[in-house]
Amino acid sequence: MHLIDKISKNTREIVTRDDAEKLEEKRGIKSYIGIEPSGIPHIATAVMWPRKLAEIQHDMKITVLLADWHAMINNKLHGDLELIRKGGEILRRTFMAEGLTEADYVWASDLVSSSEYWRMFINTAKKSTLKRVIRALPIMGRSETDAEKDFSMYLYPIMQVTDIFYLDVDVAFGGMDQRHAHMLARDIAEKMKRKKVVSVHGFLLSSLKGNTRMDNFVKMSKSDPNSAILVTDDLEHIEKKINAAYCPPQQVEGNPVAEIMKYIIIPYYEKDIEISGANGKIQVDGVEMFEGSYQKGDIQPPELKHTVSTILDEMIDPARKSLEGIDLSEFQ
């Protein structure tokens, strides 16, 4: 399989595909994903991403940036850096348990200890504007109103771009919510006459509760445990959450249970997937086939929920076991 095909698998967007295809000719490709440690991660963070990256870890160098300073700026875990570092260790353990064993796990604290990092930060800031930085604030789930109360939030987008430049990566991975930062990095790179990072954006999972009446997308969030499957959830909790989840029959779009099947189970479950259907067992051999069967009503919500719960429990198990013996009470 070509590298571009591995990168494209289970990917929402690549900016740009032409740039990504050129990496086929490059040796020593470097990539990164930055994640804020903020407690017990959910399945999109600590199951989907490590399994995706594990499939390409022998094709490129991968750095997982445990973004402790970024989390502090974003007031995650009350801005308590010591607690944030504990959260980072949870991320490292779960990512490795889910298969990402060849990556370098690097703390943002180590990057910012370098004067060269801050020189690069200043030069990067000189190539942007306040208006452009404000446009990028959604990467941290914040708005201009939030930043007006806490000036440090304005530093965050420039720090994320500086991370990309300082690590000298060719590829930046992240969810669609990171698109603003990656586009900012590409814009500034052009002004600085340096290479533009290839931006690979994965799918965001919907809240288990579904989206709002105004059709605004609400993503799965560990800050609302009932909206998410956490990697510490056992089968009983998984079943309870999935059974209560929004799952309209014959509708795939905006259906969080169907999304888990499409974006986590089908791409990364390495065994046969079988769901009870109206006319017997249905063998799921791809996303398109699953969508067609569900939309026709051959697969009904109760059977889908049962299969998703059972397989998720199995897929989460390595991450769950990696946290055994650790005091997680501070994150409950």
pLDDT digits (tens, 9 = 90+) for 156-180: 999 999 999 999 999 999 999 999 9
Rounded to whole angstroms, the Cα distance separating 72 from 81 reads: 6
Q: Using the predicted structure, report yes or no on whether residue 140 has a pLDDT greater than 80.
A: no
- Among candidates 59, 56, 42, which has minimal Cα distance to 263? 42
**Mean pLDDT score across all residues of the chain:** 93
What does the pLDDT look like over 19-34, one tens digit per residue? 999 999 899 999 999 9
Helix (H) or strand (E) holding 242: helix 235-244
C-alpha 164, offset from chain centre: 17
Q: What burial class does residue 196 get, using C-beta atoms within 10 Å of its C-beta: 0-12 exposed, 13-18 middle, 19+ buried?
A: middle
The pLDDT of 7-18, averaged and rounded, is 95
The pLDDT of 281-304, averaged and rounded, is 94
Residue 322: φ, ψ to 5°:
-65, -15
Rounded to whole angstroms, the Cα distance separating 47 from 298 reads: 28
Please give the pLDDT value at position 261.
98
The pLDDT of 101-109, averaged and rounded, is 98
Q: For the chain, what's the residue count?
A: 332
Strand partners, 65: 34, 106
- Among candidates 310, 315, 266, 309, which has minimal Cα distance to 287? 266
Please give the pLDDT value at position 210.
86
Q: Using the predicted structure, report yes or no on whether residue 130 has a pLDDT greater than 70.
A: yes
The identity of residue 108, as a single letter, is A
The pLDDT of 216-245, averaged and rounded, is 90
Please give the pLDDT value at position 285.
92
Comparing 140-144, 197-201, 246-250, the range with the smallest average pLDDT is: 140-144
Residues 6 or more apart in contact with residue 241 via CB below 8 angstroms: 208, 226, 228, 229, 233
Please give the pLDDT value at position 142.
67
Tokens of residue 40, six digits: 């017990």
Rounded to whole angstroms, the Cα distance separating 158 from 151 reads: 13
Tokens of residue 170, six digits: 């060719």
The pLDDT of 117-137, averaged and rounded, is 93
3-state secondary structure at position 49: helix
The pLDDT of 248-270, averaged and rounded, is 96
Residue 309: φ, ψ to 5°:
-60, -45
Q: Using the predicted structure, report yes or no on whether residue 101 has a pLDDT greater than 90.
A: yes
The pLDDT of 260-270, averaged and rounded, is 97
The pLDDT of 277-298, averaged and rounded, is 91
Tokens of residue 285, six digits: 């051999």
Q: pLDDT band for position 212 (50/70/90)?
A: low
Residues 6 or more apart in contact with residue 81 via CB below 8 angstroms: 68, 69, 72
Domains and CATH numbers, the chain: 3-202 (3.40.50.620), 225-327 (1.10.240.10)
Q: pLDDT band for position 332 (50/70/90)?
A: confident
Rounded to whole angstroms, the Cα distance separating 120 from 257 reads: 43
CA-based max dimension of the chain: 66
Rounded to whole angstroms, the Cα distance separating 211 from 232 reads: 24
According to DSSP, residue 66 is labeled E
What does the pLDDT look like over 185-199, one tens digit per residue? 999 999 999 999 999
- Among candidates 49, 88, 46, 35, which has minimal Cα distance to 326? 88
3-state secondary structure at position 326: coil
